[in-house]
Structure 1
């Protein structure tokens, strides 16, 4: 069986830690209701990465979107419901109501939300259709945060979305260390 050139296993994961930091900061500010001054601090944080680092953070955000959509697809299908019916319209509808999200970024987010459900990497889909545009930056962050909020809501745990990712990273690190030990023993 031939795999798609846009298959998730071909995509770079990017800087998941930086994307997760942005997500965690946003989720905490939403939970506390205190977001004053955060936008400037977040902008300076992201600018500190430079162009290559910023691209890695965008890839990391796409990885988070991929993982959350996969998790949400499993959660909804276990209840005989469809993630495409419940999550995608909710995220896009919420984004349309937000004055900070440029309308031009919403169609791209629709594609990024659907991509994981149909077995396509959001990162590679975006690359296939051109470079990131400024109009999409806020929409990407908002989509990532809304998915994190939905994961937290479904689990009833305000830290579940972040923990889901950190647990996966810990698992990959443990698997990698086990693989290194097996290689050293051979």
Structure 2
């Protein structure tokens, strides 16, 4: 964290001990560093960490302005699937939102952020999205949207008592925990 000019001025300002000379210093004062400046705690107001501004306001903006122009794949064969209406596929929206959010966060890491983003986020999600056999875009073609390739996962209702374990459910609220006693 770097200090502002005002914070540096606070560090350079003479303390009451400086006004009386070095003999007036007591053991209850902060330890002195080079040039009589206090060591340890920094004086001055600390600024709250600001949340960085997003580069892209929406996942659609991220896909349209960054991802689609960046990703180049042969879509003519049967190795990759893509849908120009990717936003009609809930799984694609979820995965591309995760890729976008990870990009927004990792772009701030100048050392390895983009490498981590490509290897741990973008590549795995693109493999799943663009898989022509099992991906959510498998029924689509690069030039047109089609109905879903597969039906949603089948489900059977679970016994509600299964979810009573604290490891499988949200922590009880204060009112719920007092009702049980």
TM-score (norm 2): 0.21
By percentage of residues, which structure has more helix? Answer: 1
Q: From the CA coordinates, give the structure whose radius of gyration is larger.
A: 2
TM-score (norm 1): 0.21
